[in-house]
Chain A
Amino acid sequence: MSGRRPTRLLSAAVVLAGAAVLLAPAFLLSGFHLFQLTMMAVYAVAILGLSLVTGYTGQVSLGHGAFYAVGAYASAILMTDFAWPYWTTLPVAGAMCAAFGFAVGFPALRLTGHYLALVTFALAVAVPQILRAHFAEGWSGGVQGLVIVGPEAPAGLPLSPDQWTYLFTVAVAAVLFALARNLLAGRMRYAMVAIRDQPLAAEAAGIDLARVKTRAFALSAGCTGIAGALGAIAVQFVAPDSFSVQLSIALFVGLVVGGAASLPGAVLGAAFVQFVPNLSELVNKNAPGVVYGVLLVATLFLMPHGVAGALRGAVTSRRGRSNR
Protein backbone atom coordinates (compact mmCIF):
# COMPACT_ATOMS: atom_id res chain seq x y z
CA MET A 1 0.00 0.00 0.00
CA SER A 2 2.85 2.42 0.79
CA GLY A 3 3.68 2.98 -2.88
CA ARG A 4 0.13 4.17 -3.48
CA ARG A 5 0.17 7.04 -1.02
CA PRO A 6 -0.64 10.15 -3.03
CA THR A 7 2.30 12.50 -3.30
CA ARG A 8 1.98 16.22 -2.92
CA LEU A 9 2.18 16.62 -6.69
CA LEU A 10 -0.64 14.18 -7.21
CA SER A 11 -2.91 15.89 -4.70
CA ALA A 12 -2.21 19.24 -6.34
CA ALA A 13 -3.21 17.69 -9.66
CA VAL A 14 -6.41 16.35 -8.08
CA VAL A 15 -7.28 19.81 -6.74
CA LEU A 16 -6.64 21.39 -10.14
CA ALA A 17 -8.71 18.75 -11.92
CA GLY A 18 -11.49 19.26 -9.41
CA ALA A 19 -11.43 23.02 -9.96
CA ALA A 20 -11.58 22.47 -13.72
CA VAL A 21 -14.58 20.17 -13.34
CA LEU A 22 -16.32 22.78 -11.18
CA LEU A 23 -15.52 25.66 -13.55
CA ALA A 24 -16.39 23.88 -16.79
CA PRO A 25 -20.22 23.98 -16.52
CA ALA A 26 -20.16 27.79 -16.42
CA PHE A 27 -18.92 27.75 -20.01
CA LEU A 28 -20.62 24.58 -21.25
CA LEU A 29 -24.14 25.00 -19.91
CA SER A 30 -26.40 27.99 -20.02
CA GLY A 31 -29.63 29.35 -18.65
CA PHE A 32 -31.80 26.94 -16.74
CA HIS A 33 -29.32 24.07 -16.63
CA LEU A 34 -26.64 26.28 -15.11
CA PHE A 35 -29.18 27.56 -12.60
CA GLN A 36 -29.96 23.97 -11.62
CA LEU A 37 -26.27 23.36 -10.91
CA THR A 38 -26.13 26.59 -8.89
CA MET A 39 -29.04 25.37 -6.77
CA MET A 40 -27.35 22.00 -6.39
CA ALA A 41 -24.32 23.78 -4.89
CA VAL A 42 -26.68 25.71 -2.59
CA TYR A 43 -28.32 22.47 -1.39
CA ALA A 44 -24.91 20.87 -0.94
CA VAL A 45 -23.96 23.63 1.52
CA ALA A 46 -27.33 23.34 3.28
CA ILE A 47 -27.00 19.55 3.62
CA LEU A 48 -23.39 19.97 4.75
CA GLY A 49 -24.73 22.10 7.61
CA LEU A 50 -27.38 19.50 8.46
CA SER A 51 -24.80 16.71 8.37
CA LEU A 52 -22.70 18.40 11.07
CA VAL A 53 -25.47 18.22 13.64
CA THR A 54 -27.52 15.23 12.42
CA GLY A 55 -24.99 13.08 10.59
CA TYR A 56 -21.94 13.49 12.80
CA THR A 57 -23.41 14.50 16.17
CA GLY A 58 -26.54 12.37 15.87
CA GLN A 59 -29.03 15.10 16.85
CA VAL A 60 -31.86 14.53 14.38
CA SER A 61 -33.17 17.82 12.97
CA LEU A 62 -36.18 17.92 10.68
CA GLY A 63 -36.23 21.72 10.77
CA HIS A 64 -33.15 22.98 9.00
CA GLY A 65 -35.38 24.71 6.48
CA ALA A 66 -35.94 27.25 9.29
CA PHE A 67 -32.24 28.15 9.36
CA TYR A 68 -32.19 28.23 5.57
CA ALA A 69 -35.15 30.63 5.65
CA VAL A 70 -33.53 32.91 8.24
CA GLY A 71 -30.34 33.09 6.14
CA ALA A 72 -32.31 33.79 2.98
CA TYR A 73 -34.39 36.52 4.59
CA ALA A 74 -31.38 38.09 6.34
CA SER A 75 -29.60 38.37 3.01
CA ALA A 76 -32.69 39.62 1.17
CA ILE A 77 -33.54 42.27 3.78
CA LEU A 78 -29.96 43.56 3.89
CA MET A 79 -29.91 43.82 0.12
CA THR A 80 -33.32 45.46 -0.39
CA ASP A 81 -33.76 47.64 2.72
CA PHE A 82 -30.12 48.52 3.38
CA ALA A 83 -28.67 48.26 -0.14
CA TRP A 84 -25.76 46.07 0.96
CA PRO A 85 -23.78 44.39 -1.82
CA TYR A 86 -24.84 40.76 -2.17
CA TRP A 87 -21.54 39.21 -1.06
CA THR A 88 -21.37 41.17 2.20
CA THR A 89 -24.65 39.64 3.33
CA LEU A 90 -23.23 36.11 3.54
CA PRO A 91 -21.17 36.54 6.75
CA VAL A 92 -24.05 38.36 8.43
CA ALA A 93 -26.55 35.67 7.42
CA GLY A 94 -24.14 32.99 8.64
CA ALA A 95 -23.51 34.75 11.95
CA MET A 96 -27.21 35.36 12.56
CA CYS A 97 -28.08 31.75 11.88
CA ALA A 98 -25.19 30.54 14.03
CA ALA A 99 -26.54 32.61 16.93
CA PHE A 100 -30.05 31.27 16.25
CA GLY A 101 -28.70 27.72 16.10
CA PHE A 102 -26.78 28.24 19.34
CA ALA A 103 -30.01 29.43 20.97
CA VAL A 104 -31.93 26.41 19.64
CA GLY A 105 -29.09 24.17 20.81
CA PHE A 106 -29.72 24.91 24.49
CA PRO A 107 -33.27 23.60 24.81
CA ALA A 108 -32.18 20.84 22.45
CA LEU A 109 -29.77 19.62 25.14
CA ARG A 110 -32.77 18.39 27.09
CA LEU A 111 -34.23 16.56 24.11
CA THR A 112 -32.85 13.35 22.73
CA GLY A 113 -33.53 11.36 19.63
CA HIS A 114 -37.07 11.47 18.40
CA TYR A 115 -38.16 14.38 20.59
CA LEU A 116 -35.67 16.77 19.03
CA ALA A 117 -36.93 15.59 15.65
CA LEU A 118 -40.48 16.41 16.76
CA VAL A 119 -39.68 19.93 17.97
CA THR A 120 -37.68 20.77 14.85
CA PHE A 121 -40.46 19.27 12.70
CA ALA A 122 -42.96 21.56 14.42
CA LEU A 123 -40.59 24.47 13.83
CA ALA A 124 -40.40 23.62 10.12
CA VAL A 125 -44.20 23.48 9.85
CA ALA A 126 -44.55 26.83 11.62
CA VAL A 127 -41.91 28.78 9.65
CA PRO A 128 -44.05 29.94 6.68
CA GLN A 129 -46.76 31.14 9.10
CA ILE A 130 -44.26 33.18 11.09
CA LEU A 131 -42.81 34.72 7.93
CA ARG A 132 -46.29 35.58 6.71
CA ALA A 133 -47.39 37.06 10.04
CA HIS A 134 -48.43 40.68 10.39
CA PHE A 135 -45.80 41.69 12.91
CA ALA A 136 -43.01 40.67 10.53
CA GLU A 137 -44.59 42.17 7.41
CA GLY A 138 -42.60 45.40 7.47
CA TRP A 139 -39.40 43.39 7.16
CA SER A 140 -40.37 40.24 5.34
CA GLY A 141 -42.69 41.70 2.74
CA GLY A 142 -45.48 39.39 3.98
CA VAL A 143 -47.06 36.99 1.52
CA GLN A 144 -45.60 38.81 -1.50
CA GLY A 145 -42.03 38.26 -0.32
CA LEU A 146 -39.04 40.29 -1.47
CA VAL A 147 -37.55 40.64 -4.92
CA ILE A 148 -33.76 40.91 -5.07
CA VAL A 149 -31.56 42.27 -7.83
CA GLY A 150 -29.20 39.46 -8.84
CA PRO A 151 -25.43 39.83 -8.84
CA GLU A 152 -23.44 41.12 -11.81
CA ALA A 153 -19.95 39.94 -12.69
CA PRO A 154 -17.24 42.40 -11.54
CA ALA A 155 -16.34 44.95 -14.21
CA GLY A 156 -13.83 43.63 -16.71
CA LEU A 157 -14.83 39.96 -16.48
CA PRO A 158 -16.57 38.76 -19.65
CA LEU A 159 -19.19 36.73 -17.75
CA SER A 160 -22.97 36.76 -17.87
CA PRO A 161 -24.86 37.19 -14.56
CA ASP A 162 -25.84 33.49 -14.68
CA GLN A 163 -22.25 32.40 -15.11
CA TRP A 164 -21.05 34.73 -12.35
CA THR A 165 -23.76 33.55 -9.92
CA TYR A 166 -22.76 29.95 -10.57
CA LEU A 167 -19.04 30.61 -10.08
CA PHE A 168 -19.64 32.70 -6.96
CA THR A 169 -21.89 30.02 -5.40
CA VAL A 170 -19.51 27.20 -6.22
CA ALA A 171 -16.54 29.15 -4.83
CA VAL A 172 -18.34 29.80 -1.52
CA ALA A 173 -19.41 26.15 -1.38
CA ALA A 174 -15.84 24.98 -2.01
CA VAL A 175 -14.52 27.19 0.81
CA LEU A 176 -17.17 25.91 3.22
CA PHE A 177 -16.48 22.28 2.32
CA ALA A 178 -12.75 22.86 2.84
CA LEU A 179 -13.46 24.42 6.25
CA ALA A 180 -15.70 21.52 7.20
CA ARG A 181 -13.03 19.07 6.09
CA ASN A 182 -10.52 20.75 8.38
CA LEU A 183 -12.97 20.81 11.27
CA LEU A 184 -13.70 17.12 10.79
CA ALA A 185 -10.02 16.22 10.62
CA GLY A 186 -9.53 17.23 14.25
CA ARG A 187 -10.72 16.50 17.78
CA MET A 188 -14.16 17.96 17.14
CA ARG A 189 -15.05 15.07 14.86
CA TYR A 190 -14.22 12.46 17.49
CA ALA A 191 -16.17 14.36 20.12
CA MET A 192 -19.18 14.65 17.82
CA VAL A 193 -19.14 11.02 16.70
CA ALA A 194 -18.64 9.82 20.28
CA ILE A 195 -21.71 11.79 21.36
CA ARG A 196 -23.69 10.26 18.51
CA ASP A 197 -22.65 6.66 19.11
CA GLN A 198 -22.08 6.44 22.87
CA PRO A 199 -23.21 9.55 24.73
CA LEU A 200 -22.61 8.04 28.18
CA ALA A 201 -19.11 6.83 27.34
CA ALA A 202 -18.36 10.18 25.71
CA GLU A 203 -19.32 12.00 28.87
CA ALA A 204 -17.32 9.59 30.98
CA ALA A 205 -14.33 10.21 28.73
CA GLY A 206 -14.46 13.89 29.60
CA ILE A 207 -16.25 15.31 26.57
CA ASP A 208 -18.36 18.32 27.48
CA LEU A 209 -21.62 17.23 25.88
CA ALA A 210 -23.38 20.55 26.24
CA ARG A 211 -20.48 22.48 24.73
CA VAL A 212 -19.97 20.19 21.75
CA LYS A 213 -23.68 19.87 21.00
CA THR A 214 -24.42 23.61 21.13
CA ARG A 215 -21.32 24.37 19.03
CA ALA A 216 -22.30 21.74 16.50
CA PHE A 217 -25.74 23.33 16.36
CA ALA A 218 -24.29 26.80 15.85
CA LEU A 219 -21.89 25.68 13.11
CA SER A 220 -24.60 23.64 11.43
CA ALA A 221 -27.15 26.46 11.48
CA GLY A 222 -24.57 28.99 10.30
CA CYS A 223 -23.62 26.79 7.35
CA THR A 224 -27.25 26.16 6.37
CA GLY A 225 -27.97 29.87 6.83
CA ILE A 226 -25.23 30.78 4.35
CA ALA A 227 -26.82 28.28 1.98
CA GLY A 228 -30.11 30.13 2.42
CA ALA A 229 -28.43 33.44 1.59
CA LEU A 230 -26.79 31.89 -1.49
CA GLY A 231 -30.14 30.46 -2.52
CA ALA A 232 -31.87 33.82 -2.15
CA ILE A 233 -29.19 35.48 -4.29
CA ALA A 234 -29.46 32.77 -6.95
CA VAL A 235 -33.28 32.73 -7.07
CA GLN A 236 -33.48 36.56 -6.66
CA PHE A 237 -36.66 36.17 -4.66
CA VAL A 238 -37.77 35.10 -1.20
CA ALA A 239 -41.34 34.33 -0.11
CA PRO A 240 -42.81 32.40 2.85
CA ASP A 241 -44.01 29.50 0.71
CA SER A 242 -40.50 28.74 -0.55
CA PHE A 243 -39.60 27.67 2.99
CA SER A 244 -42.37 25.19 3.76
CA VAL A 245 -41.87 21.95 5.64
CA GLN A 246 -41.11 20.32 2.27
CA LEU A 247 -37.78 22.16 2.18
CA SER A 248 -36.75 20.81 5.58
CA ILE A 249 -37.81 17.32 4.58
CA ALA A 250 -35.98 17.58 1.24
CA LEU A 251 -32.76 18.50 3.06
CA PHE A 252 -33.27 15.58 5.44
CA VAL A 253 -33.92 13.16 2.57
CA GLY A 254 -30.84 14.42 0.73
CA LEU A 255 -28.76 13.95 3.86
CA VAL A 256 -29.86 10.36 4.44
CA VAL A 257 -29.76 9.27 0.80
CA GLY A 258 -26.37 10.84 0.14
CA GLY A 259 -24.82 9.57 3.35
CA ALA A 260 -25.43 11.27 6.68
CA ALA A 261 -21.85 11.51 7.97
CA SER A 262 -19.95 12.14 4.78
CA LEU A 263 -18.84 15.26 2.89
CA PRO A 264 -19.16 13.68 -0.58
CA GLY A 265 -22.51 12.42 0.66
CA ALA A 266 -23.71 16.02 1.06
CA VAL A 267 -22.92 16.68 -2.62
CA LEU A 268 -24.61 13.45 -3.72
CA GLY A 269 -27.62 14.29 -1.56
CA ALA A 270 -27.80 17.75 -3.14
CA ALA A 271 -27.78 16.18 -6.61
CA PHE A 272 -30.62 13.91 -5.46
CA VAL A 273 -32.68 16.81 -4.08
CA GLN A 274 -32.12 18.94 -7.17
CA PHE A 275 -32.65 16.43 -9.94
CA VAL A 276 -34.78 13.49 -8.74
CA PRO A 277 -38.01 15.51 -8.21
CA ASN A 278 -37.71 17.03 -11.69
CA LEU A 279 -37.24 13.61 -13.24
CA SER A 280 -40.08 11.97 -11.35
CA GLU A 281 -42.44 14.88 -11.99
CA LEU A 282 -42.37 13.77 -15.62
CA VAL A 283 -44.34 10.70 -14.51
CA ASN A 284 -46.90 12.39 -12.27
CA LYS A 285 -47.21 15.57 -10.25
CA ASN A 286 -47.34 13.52 -7.06
CA ALA A 287 -44.63 11.07 -8.03
CA PRO A 288 -41.79 13.01 -6.34
CA GLY A 289 -43.26 12.35 -2.89
CA VAL A 290 -43.67 8.66 -3.61
CA VAL A 291 -40.17 8.42 -5.13
CA TYR A 292 -38.67 10.33 -2.18
CA GLY A 293 -40.44 8.08 0.30
CA VAL A 294 -39.57 4.80 -1.39
CA LEU A 295 -35.94 5.75 -1.99
CA LEU A 296 -35.55 7.05 1.57
CA VAL A 297 -36.84 3.82 3.09
CA ALA A 298 -34.91 1.70 0.59
CA THR A 299 -31.69 3.60 1.35
CA LEU A 300 -32.07 3.05 5.08
CA PHE A 301 -32.61 -0.67 4.61
CA LEU A 302 -30.12 -1.36 1.82
CA MET A 303 -27.43 1.33 2.25
CA PRO A 304 -27.52 2.52 5.89
CA HIS A 305 -24.63 4.90 5.18
CA GLY A 306 -26.16 6.32 2.05
CA VAL A 307 -24.86 6.33 -1.50
CA ALA A 308 -21.50 7.68 -0.34
CA GLY A 309 -21.13 4.85 2.18
CA ALA A 310 -22.10 2.24 -0.41
CA LEU A 311 -19.56 3.60 -2.91
CA ARG A 312 -16.81 3.66 -0.29
CA GLY A 313 -17.71 0.11 0.70
CA ALA A 314 -17.50 -1.03 -2.92
CA VAL A 315 -14.08 0.61 -3.38
CA THR A 316 -12.59 -0.84 -0.18
CA SER A 317 -13.82 -4.34 -0.90
CA ARG A 318 -12.31 -4.20 -4.40
CA ARG A 319 -9.00 -2.98 -3.01
CA GLY A 320 -9.10 -5.67 -0.38
CA ARG A 321 -9.58 -8.30 -3.07
CA SER A 322 -6.79 -7.01 -5.31
CA ASN A 323 -4.37 -6.89 -2.36
CA ARG A 324 -4.95 -10.48 -1.47
Chain B
Amino acid sequence: MVGLLHQTLSGLATGGVYASLALALVMVHRSTHHLNFAQGEMATFSTYIALMLIQAGLPYWVAFALTVVIAFALGVAVERLLMQRMARASPLAVVGVVIGLLLLFNGLSGWLFGFTIKQFPSPFEGNGGGGAFGGMVSDHEVGMTAVTIAVLIAMSLFFRMTKLGLAMRAAALNPESSRLLGIRVGATLAAGWGVAAGLGAIAGMMVAPIVFLDPNMMAGVLLYAFAGALLGGIDNPAGAVAGGFAVGVIENLGGAYLVGTELKLTLALVIIATVLVVRPAGLFGHVTVRRV
Protein backbone atom coordinates (compact mmCIF):
# COMPACT_ATOMS: atom_id res chain seq x y z
CA MET B 1 0.00 0.00 0.00
CA VAL B 2 2.87 2.34 0.86
CA GLY B 3 4.48 1.41 -2.43
CA LEU B 4 1.31 2.26 -4.31
CA LEU B 5 1.10 5.65 -2.59
CA HIS B 6 4.76 6.29 -3.32
CA GLN B 7 4.34 5.46 -7.01
CA THR B 8 1.24 7.64 -7.29
CA LEU B 9 2.88 10.66 -5.63
CA SER B 10 6.02 10.40 -7.69
CA GLY B 11 3.82 9.93 -10.78
CA LEU B 12 2.03 13.18 -9.94
CA ALA B 13 5.40 14.95 -9.65
CA THR B 14 6.60 13.87 -13.12
CA GLY B 15 3.03 14.30 -14.36
CA GLY B 16 3.42 17.99 -13.62
CA VAL B 17 6.29 18.16 -16.10
CA TYR B 18 4.18 16.36 -18.69
CA ALA B 19 1.34 18.76 -17.94
CA SER B 20 3.54 21.80 -18.62
CA LEU B 21 4.78 20.39 -21.90
CA ALA B 22 1.26 19.21 -22.82
CA LEU B 23 0.03 22.74 -22.23
CA ALA B 24 2.75 23.98 -24.58
CA LEU B 25 1.62 21.51 -27.25
CA VAL B 26 -1.99 22.61 -26.80
CA MET B 27 -1.06 26.28 -27.17
CA VAL B 28 0.65 25.60 -30.48
CA HIS B 29 -2.14 23.35 -31.69
CA ARG B 30 -4.92 25.73 -30.74
CA SER B 31 -3.39 28.66 -32.54
CA THR B 32 -1.90 27.06 -35.66
CA HIS B 33 -3.28 23.47 -35.69
CA HIS B 34 0.24 22.09 -35.83
CA LEU B 35 1.61 19.31 -33.67
CA ASN B 36 5.02 20.55 -32.62
CA PHE B 37 7.26 17.49 -32.61
CA ALA B 38 10.18 19.83 -31.91
CA GLN B 39 8.72 21.11 -28.61
CA GLY B 40 10.81 18.67 -26.58
CA GLU B 41 14.07 19.45 -28.36
CA MET B 42 13.46 23.19 -28.04
CA ALA B 43 12.96 22.63 -24.31
CA THR B 44 16.20 20.63 -24.06
CA PHE B 45 18.07 23.37 -25.89
CA SER B 46 16.67 25.98 -23.48
CA THR B 47 17.69 23.84 -20.52
CA TYR B 48 21.27 23.81 -21.83
CA ILE B 49 21.13 27.60 -21.98
CA ALA B 50 19.97 27.62 -18.36
CA LEU B 51 22.89 25.40 -17.37
CA MET B 52 25.28 27.71 -19.20
CA LEU B 53 23.89 30.74 -17.36
CA ILE B 54 24.12 28.98 -13.99
CA GLN B 55 27.68 27.91 -14.67
CA ALA B 56 28.48 31.51 -15.61
CA GLY B 57 27.69 32.37 -12.01
CA LEU B 58 24.12 33.67 -12.13
CA PRO B 59 21.83 32.79 -9.19
CA TYR B 60 19.44 29.95 -10.04
CA TRP B 61 16.23 31.94 -10.20
CA VAL B 62 17.80 34.73 -12.28
CA ALA B 63 19.03 32.12 -14.75
CA PHE B 64 15.59 30.53 -14.64
CA ALA B 65 13.81 33.77 -15.55
CA LEU B 66 16.38 34.67 -18.19
CA THR B 67 16.03 31.24 -19.79
CA VAL B 68 12.26 31.57 -20.01
CA VAL B 69 12.69 34.94 -21.75
CA ILE B 70 15.26 33.50 -24.19
CA ALA B 71 13.01 30.51 -24.90
CA PHE B 72 10.10 32.86 -25.54
CA ALA B 73 12.19 34.78 -28.07
CA LEU B 74 13.25 31.50 -29.67
CA GLY B 75 9.64 30.38 -30.05
CA VAL B 76 8.60 33.72 -31.53
CA ALA B 77 11.51 33.58 -33.97
CA VAL B 78 10.61 30.06 -35.11
CA GLU B 79 7.01 31.07 -35.74
CA ARG B 80 7.89 34.29 -37.54
CA LEU B 81 10.68 32.84 -39.67
CA LEU B 82 9.27 29.40 -40.54
CA MET B 83 5.88 28.33 -39.29
CA GLN B 84 4.08 31.46 -40.43
CA ARG B 85 4.84 30.54 -44.03
CA MET B 86 3.51 27.03 -43.43
CA ALA B 87 -0.04 28.15 -42.63
CA ARG B 88 -1.49 26.77 -45.87
CA ALA B 89 1.05 24.03 -46.58
CA SER B 90 0.28 20.31 -46.87
CA PRO B 91 0.58 18.10 -43.77
CA LEU B 92 3.72 16.55 -45.26
CA ALA B 93 5.42 19.94 -45.56
CA VAL B 94 4.37 21.04 -42.05
CA VAL B 95 5.51 17.78 -40.45
CA GLY B 96 8.71 18.04 -42.51
CA VAL B 97 9.54 21.51 -41.21
CA VAL B 98 8.80 20.52 -37.61
CA ILE B 99 10.94 17.39 -37.92
CA GLY B 100 13.65 19.59 -39.42
CA LEU B 101 13.47 21.77 -36.31
CA LEU B 102 13.64 18.69 -34.10
CA LEU B 103 16.83 17.52 -35.84
CA LEU B 104 18.27 21.02 -35.84
CA PHE B 105 17.79 21.69 -32.12
CA ASN B 106 18.85 18.17 -31.16
CA GLY B 107 22.04 18.50 -33.21
CA LEU B 108 22.73 22.01 -31.92
CA SER B 109 22.39 20.87 -28.29
CA GLY B 110 24.99 18.17 -28.89
CA TRP B 111 27.24 20.35 -31.00
CA LEU B 112 27.34 23.39 -28.73
CA PHE B 113 27.13 21.76 -25.30
CA GLY B 114 28.60 18.30 -25.79
CA PHE B 115 27.15 14.84 -25.89
CA THR B 116 28.04 13.72 -22.37
CA ILE B 117 25.30 13.40 -19.77
CA LYS B 118 25.36 16.38 -17.40
CA GLN B 119 24.01 16.97 -13.93
CA PHE B 120 21.57 19.84 -13.58
CA PRO B 121 21.21 21.63 -10.23
CA SER B 122 17.95 21.63 -8.33
CA PRO B 123 17.08 24.78 -6.34
CA PHE B 124 15.11 22.70 -3.83
CA GLU B 125 17.75 20.22 -2.71
CA GLY B 126 20.17 20.77 0.12
CA ASN B 127 17.95 23.05 2.21
CA GLY B 128 17.79 20.46 4.95
CA GLY B 129 14.22 19.44 4.17
CA GLY B 130 13.61 15.70 4.25
CA GLY B 131 10.98 15.68 1.56
CA ALA B 132 7.32 15.22 2.30
CA PHE B 133 5.02 12.38 3.33
CA GLY B 134 7.71 10.82 5.51
CA GLY B 135 10.39 10.97 2.82
CA MET B 136 8.28 9.32 0.15
CA VAL B 137 8.68 12.33 -2.12
CA SER B 138 12.00 14.13 -2.49
CA ASP B 139 12.49 17.83 -1.90
CA HIS B 140 12.93 18.34 -5.61
CA GLU B 141 9.67 16.57 -6.41
CA VAL B 142 7.80 18.80 -3.95
CA GLY B 143 9.43 21.94 -5.33
CA MET B 144 8.88 20.82 -8.91
CA THR B 145 5.18 20.23 -8.27
CA ALA B 146 4.88 23.63 -6.62
CA VAL B 147 6.53 25.35 -9.58
CA THR B 148 4.31 23.48 -12.03
CA ILE B 149 1.15 24.38 -10.17
CA ALA B 150 2.25 28.01 -9.88
CA VAL B 151 2.93 28.12 -13.62
CA LEU B 152 -0.42 26.54 -14.45
CA ILE B 153 -2.28 29.03 -12.22
CA ALA B 154 -0.33 31.87 -13.81
CA MET B 155 -1.26 30.61 -17.27
CA SER B 156 -4.90 30.36 -16.36
CA LEU B 157 -4.87 33.94 -15.02
CA PHE B 158 -2.96 35.07 -18.11
CA PHE B 159 -5.66 33.69 -20.39
CA ARG B 160 -8.53 35.14 -18.33
CA MET B 161 -7.22 38.47 -17.07
CA THR B 162 -4.68 39.91 -19.47
CA LYS B 163 -5.36 41.64 -22.76
CA LEU B 164 -2.75 39.57 -24.60
CA GLY B 165 -4.14 36.33 -23.19
CA LEU B 166 -7.67 37.20 -24.24
CA ALA B 167 -6.43 38.30 -27.66
CA MET B 168 -4.62 34.99 -28.08
CA ARG B 169 -7.75 33.04 -27.23
CA ALA B 170 -9.82 35.13 -29.60
CA ALA B 171 -7.30 34.79 -32.43
CA ALA B 172 -7.17 31.03 -31.95
CA LEU B 173 -10.95 30.63 -31.98
CA ASN B 174 -11.82 32.98 -34.78
CA PRO B 175 -8.97 34.65 -36.65
CA GLU B 176 -11.19 36.56 -39.10
CA SER B 177 -13.40 38.24 -36.51
CA SER B 178 -10.41 38.94 -34.31
CA ARG B 179 -8.67 40.70 -37.14
CA LEU B 180 -11.76 42.85 -37.68
CA LEU B 181 -11.71 43.76 -34.00
CA GLY B 182 -8.18 45.04 -34.37
CA ILE B 183 -6.29 42.13 -32.88
CA ARG B 184 -2.97 41.52 -34.59
CA VAL B 185 -3.55 37.83 -35.26
CA GLY B 186 -0.07 37.14 -36.63
CA ALA B 187 1.56 38.64 -33.56
CA THR B 188 -0.62 36.62 -31.19
CA LEU B 189 0.23 33.39 -33.03
CA ALA B 190 3.90 34.19 -32.61
CA ALA B 191 3.28 34.97 -28.93
CA GLY B 192 1.57 31.58 -28.64
CA TRP B 193 4.69 29.82 -29.93
CA GLY B 194 6.77 31.97 -27.58
CA VAL B 195 4.70 31.10 -24.51
CA ALA B 196 4.76 27.44 -25.52
CA ALA B 197 8.55 27.51 -25.78
CA GLY B 198 8.73 29.22 -22.36
CA LEU B 199 6.55 26.50 -20.81
CA GLY B 200 8.75 23.88 -22.43
CA ALA B 201 11.85 25.51 -20.96
CA ILE B 202 10.34 25.39 -17.47
CA ALA B 203 9.43 21.73 -17.96
CA GLY B 204 13.00 21.03 -19.10
CA MET B 205 14.59 22.79 -16.13
CA MET B 206 12.29 20.95 -13.71
CA VAL B 207 12.83 17.47 -15.14
CA ALA B 208 16.59 17.78 -15.81
CA PRO B 209 17.72 17.19 -12.18
CA ILE B 210 15.82 13.86 -12.22
CA VAL B 211 16.63 12.42 -15.66
CA PHE B 212 19.97 14.30 -16.13
CA LEU B 213 20.69 16.55 -19.07
CA ASP B 214 21.61 15.14 -22.47
CA PRO B 215 20.52 16.11 -25.98
CA ASN B 216 17.83 13.38 -26.08
CA MET B 217 16.50 14.14 -22.61
CA MET B 218 13.02 15.19 -23.72
CA ALA B 219 12.32 12.49 -26.34
CA GLY B 220 10.38 10.32 -23.92
CA VAL B 221 8.90 13.28 -22.04
CA LEU B 222 7.52 14.67 -25.30
CA LEU B 223 5.73 11.41 -26.04
CA TYR B 224 4.09 11.39 -22.59
CA ALA B 225 3.17 15.04 -23.02
CA PHE B 226 1.48 14.21 -26.33
CA ALA B 227 -0.31 11.33 -24.65
CA GLY B 228 -1.46 13.66 -21.87
CA ALA B 229 -2.54 16.41 -24.25
CA LEU B 230 -4.55 13.95 -26.35
CA LEU B 231 -6.03 12.24 -23.31
CA GLY B 232 -7.35 15.53 -21.99
CA GLY B 233 -8.22 16.93 -25.41
CA ILE B 234 -5.66 18.60 -27.63
CA ASP B 235 -7.77 21.78 -27.84
CA ASN B 236 -8.42 22.07 -24.14
CA PRO B 237 -5.69 23.57 -21.89
CA ALA B 238 -7.29 22.47 -18.62
CA GLY B 239 -7.93 19.01 -20.02
CA ALA B 240 -4.35 18.70 -21.24
CA VAL B 241 -3.05 19.61 -17.79
CA ALA B 242 -5.27 16.98 -16.18
CA GLY B 243 -4.20 14.53 -18.89
CA GLY B 244 -0.54 15.27 -18.21
CA PHE B 245 -0.92 14.50 -14.50
CA ALA B 246 -2.97 11.38 -15.30
CA VAL B 247 -0.32 10.10 -17.73
CA GLY B 248 2.37 10.66 -15.10
CA VAL B 249 0.46 8.45 -12.67
CA ILE B 250 -0.44 5.86 -15.33
CA GLU B 251 3.19 5.70 -16.45
CA ASN B 252 4.48 5.17 -12.91
CA LEU B 253 1.86 2.64 -11.86
CA GLY B 254 2.01 0.85 -15.21
CA GLY B 255 5.79 0.73 -15.04
CA ALA B 256 5.74 -0.59 -11.48
CA TYR B 257 2.93 -3.11 -11.65
CA LEU B 258 1.92 -3.80 -15.27
CA VAL B 259 4.50 -3.74 -18.03
CA GLY B 260 7.78 -3.10 -16.24
CA THR B 261 10.09 -0.17 -16.89
CA GLU B 262 11.37 -1.51 -20.18
CA LEU B 263 8.07 -1.01 -22.00
CA LYS B 264 7.16 2.40 -20.56
CA LEU B 265 7.37 4.19 -23.92
CA THR B 266 5.17 1.56 -25.50
CA LEU B 267 2.57 2.53 -22.89
CA ALA B 268 2.65 6.08 -24.30
CA LEU B 269 2.15 4.68 -27.81
CA VAL B 270 -0.83 2.66 -26.60
CA ILE B 271 -2.40 5.71 -24.91
CA ILE B 272 -1.89 7.91 -27.98
CA ALA B 273 -3.24 5.34 -30.44
CA THR B 274 -6.19 4.40 -28.23
CA VAL B 275 -7.29 7.98 -27.62
CA LEU B 276 -6.99 8.94 -31.27
CA VAL B 277 -8.89 5.92 -32.53
CA VAL B 278 -11.55 5.66 -29.82
CA ARG B 279 -12.11 9.24 -28.75
CA PRO B 280 -10.16 11.75 -30.88
CA ALA B 281 -11.52 14.74 -28.94
CA GLY B 282 -10.02 13.45 -25.70
CA LEU B 283 -11.78 13.00 -22.38
CA PHE B 284 -12.67 16.66 -21.92
CA GLY B 285 -12.85 17.62 -25.57
CA HIS B 286 -16.52 18.51 -25.76
CA VAL B 287 -17.09 20.29 -22.49
CA THR B 288 -14.62 23.05 -23.11
CA VAL B 289 -15.53 23.81 -26.69
CA ARG B 290 -18.35 25.77 -25.10
CA ARG B 291 -16.62 26.92 -21.98
CA VAL B 292 -13.51 28.49 -23.49
Contacts and interface: CB of A to CB of B under 8 A. Distances in A.
Interface of A: 54-55, 58, 60, 62, 107, 110-115, 117-119, 121-123, 125-126, 129-130, 132-134, 245, 249, 252-253, 256, 260, 284-294, 296-297, 299-301, 304
A110 B104 CA distance: 31
Nearest to A114: B35
Contacts of B142: none
B110 A260 contact: no
Nearest to A299: B96
B269 A125 contact: yes
B103 A125 contact: no
Q: A-B pairs with the 9 shortest C-beta distances?
A: A289-B107, A293-B104, A286-B110, A293-B103, A113-B91, A290-B107, A296-B100, A297-B100, A286-B111
Contact of A123 (B97, B215, B269): B269
Contact of A297 (B37, B104, B262): B104
Interface of B: 33-35, 37, 82, 85, 89-97, 99-111, 115, 215, 219-220, 223, 226, 260, 262-266, 268-269, 272-273, 276-277, 280
A117 B260 CA distance: 27
Contact of B272 (A60, A118, A285, A286): A118
A285 B107 CA distance: 9
Contacts of B272: 118-119, 122
Contacts of B280: 110, 115
Contact of B101 (A55, A288, A297, A304): A297
Given A118-B272, A125-B269, 8 more contacts: A117-B91, A117-B95, A118-B35, A122-B272, A126-B268, A292-B107, A293-B106, A297-B100
Nearest to B105: A293
6 contacts: A114-B35, A289-B104, A290-B107, A293-B102, A293-B103, A296-B99
A66 B93 CA distance: 22
A42 B219 CA distance: 27
Given A114-B35, A290-B104, A293-B101, A129 B92 contact: no
